[in-house]
Amino acid sequence: MTTWDKSVDLAIVGSGGGGLIAAMAAIDAGLEPLVLEKQAVVGGSTGLSGGMIWMPNNPLMRAEGIVDSHDDGLAYLADVVGDVGPCSSPARRDMFLRAGYEMITFMQRKGVRLVRSAGYSDYYPNHKGGNAAGRSVEGVPFDNAELGGWHDKLQPGFSKNFGLVFLTNELRNVQYFNRSPRSLAIAARVFLRSTLARLRHQELLTNGASLIGQIMKVLLAQNAAVWTDAAAEDLIVEDGRVIGVRVVRDGSPVLIEARKGVLLAAGGFAHNAAMRRKYSADQPNEAQWTIANSGDTGEVLETAMRLGAKTDLLDEAWWLPSPTMALGASSLGAARQRPGTIFVDADGKRFCNESNSYVEVGKAMYANEAVPCWLIFDDGYRRRYSLTASSLPGQMPSEWIDKGLIRKASSIEDLARQIDVDPGGLATTVRRFNADAAKGIDPDFGRGQSAYNDCLGDPGYKPNAALGPIDHAPFYATEIYPSDVGTCGGLLTDEFARVIDEFDKPIPGLYATGNITATVMGRTYPGAGASIANTMAFGFVAARHAAGRLGPERPYRGATST
């Protein structure tokens, strides 16, 4: 018989959005959860992120009269994600939408304040079931002081790097403050909010930090147990059932009994070079470009795999094409969505719609052997946009040129020679691109022809917010790498978030959600906050199933229509 150091109903490994919402749902269902976080801070990848939750037909859309439906959500996932196997089965998609709606309602009922990200279009709004009005929600600004002694135990927020307090949906306007009256008005609102917070000595959290902070406030009010510096080392199995977890807390081993099960919400393996080398397949990556949560090291995933858990999509990640990290807090990562830019391969040819989903563009880099590729832009681009968070439009740090991080030339051909790209190929590409871009069209890839391309483009640029010629010398180039914010393949789970074994049967007592699993989004990214929605919806489902509130004999009855 195992001698337990602590006994709870649900042991939750990982304190991101999926783990914390599971703890909230567990308590609501009468269970005693314990959240285990190996790092000194809580929040995981969710805390570092923009913090949006992409959920079709969500309650905030309904409240504002935005037309959507459960069936539209299913149609959209079918058309965009396609048939990628059991990770995105019809049952899992249906559960994601049904439980996701109920989860957001649950969060609101518990006091988590959310706002709809109006106008932040689906990434594929032209596909069947797509919605250009926006299906994402995010947390409102939240005062970190409300967490009391936990105020310094959250992952640093996304907006903290910019010195401003902005919602993720506001950022797309803040970066264009000099390009339209509406963008200037939103930027002024953000600046005023940020200034008032400083004057009041407030640390206002937004983005993923707001989401995590608000959920933590609810959990702390309910005396939920959340352990930091508590790394899960192994799962404890008896008669084929997972009954507990072995943890090292503050350097000492602790055996924790999990009467109703263990939920793995520990993130992926973005920083595990050996695992990425082993599983990367046609998208070779050894973690050298990742900007994921530093806790994404994969050991919990490997523990479940040793139990015989089935896996899928291990070669996949949430790709985010980015310039070299040596450029620091550069805004050039967003350049592909603005006029006056293109991506090219070593032959000087474009290979994708640069303004589309970052995951799609990252995959296109691999598919076209353009790793790295080159971002080409002109002096018109430099003059229009701020290149760093603290600079005004037109200012480019001289050291970028001096160190060769940005290449500069008086002609496209000279630029091509500097970056070892075929001069004739690049000149031909730019000449053809410019002729079409001047008319606001892109016959090759359709850039700027979707609401998503438009909503992240320059609102002051006509006739196409995402597209413009590269025709003002001097010309510039910088390398772009297939960075990522996390892996998105791993354990296969069913619609109840139960981990599936090699015989396609659930492993008793073992649940999983988030980047440690093969995502219901498959190999695509349908909308802003799709990864957070995936981890939170199935964390919510896992807790309800563990509590006996959900199962084959008790199908989900959440609201779904209109």
pLDDT at 326 over 60: yes
Task: Give the span between the Cα atoms of 513 and 14, in whole angstroms.
Answer: 10
Q: Supply 492's token pair.
A: 């296969």
Check pLDDT > 80 for residue 556: no
Angle at 396 between CA 394 and CA 402, to 5 degrees: 150
Q: What 3-state DSSP class applies to 235?
A: strand
- How distant is the alpha carbon of residue 230 from its chain centre? 25
C-alpha neighbours within 13 Å on the C-beta side of residue 14: 35
- The b/e string for 101-125 (b: 16+ C-beta within 10 A; e otherwise) is bbbbebbeebebebebbeebbbbbb
Structure-token match 């000492």, residue found: 252
d(CA 116, CA 134): 8
Indicate the range of 18-32, 266-280, 322-336, 485-499 predicted with least confidence.
Answer: 322-336
- In the prediction, which pLDDT does 562 show? 39
> Does 553 have pLDDT greater than 70?
no
- What's the mean pLDDT in 14-32? 98
Antiparallel, parallel or unpaired: β 506-512 and 252-264: parallel
Q: What would the pLDDT profile of 379-430 be if each residue is shown by its tens digit?
A: 999 999 999 888 899 999 999 999 999 999 999 999 999 999 999 999 999 9
Residues 6+ apart with CB under 8 A from 313: 84, 87, 488, 489, 490, 518, 519, 522, 523
pTM of the model: 0.96
Give dist(CA 95, CA 537) in Å, integer: 8
CB 483 within 8 A of CB 324: no
- Classify residue 169 as left (phi > 0), alpha (psi -120 to 50) or beta: alpha
Task: For residue 477, give the amino acid letter.
Answer: A
Residues of the chain with pLDDT > 70, as a percent, come to: 98
3-state DSSP assignment of residue 94:
helix
Rounded mean pLDDT of 247-254?
95
Give the pair of three-digit tokens for residue 147: 């967490």
Q: Which of 212, 277, 270 is nearest to 37 (CA)?
A: 212
Measured between its terminal Cα atoms, the distance across the chain in Å is 53
Mean pLDDT for 10-16 is 98
Instruction: Round to whole Å and give the CA distance between 35 and 16.
Output: 10
Q: Which two tokens stand for residue 123?
A: 């990434």
Closest CA to 522 of 58, 86, 16: 86
What average pLDDT score do residues 369-384 get? 98
- Decide if pLDDT at 5 tops 60: yes
HEC secondary structure over 293-345 = CCCCCCHHHHHHHHCCECEECCCCEEEEEEECHHHCCECHHHHHHCCCEEEEC
Query: Between these two residues, 388 and 17, which has the higher pLDDT value?
Result: 17
- Summary mean pLDDT of the chain: 96
> Over 60: is that where the pLDDT of 557 sits?
no
Dist CA 516 CA 286 (whole Å): 18
Q: Which two tokens stand for residue 561?
A: 């229509």
- Domains of the chain in sequence order: 1-158+206-316+488-555 (3.50.50.60), 321-484 (3.90.700.10)
Is a pLDDT exceeding 90 seen at residue 162?
Answer: no
> Confidence class of residue 550 from pLDDT cuts 50, 70 and 90?
confident
Q: Is 249 exposed, middle or buried (0-12, 13-18, 19+ CB in 10 A)?
A: middle
Contact 541, 108 (CB under 8 A): no
Mean per-residue pLDDT, 64-69: 96
Alpha-carbon distance 262 to 168, whole Å? 33
The pLDDT value recorded for residue 369 is 97
Residue range 84-137, pLDDT digits in tens: 999 999 999 999 999 999 999 999 999 999 999 999 999 999 999 999 999 999
Buried/exposed code over 193-220 (b: 16+ C-beta within 10 A; e: otherwise): bbeebeeeeebbbbbbbbbbbbbbbbbe
CB 540 within 8 A of CB 265: no
pLDDT at 554 over 70: no
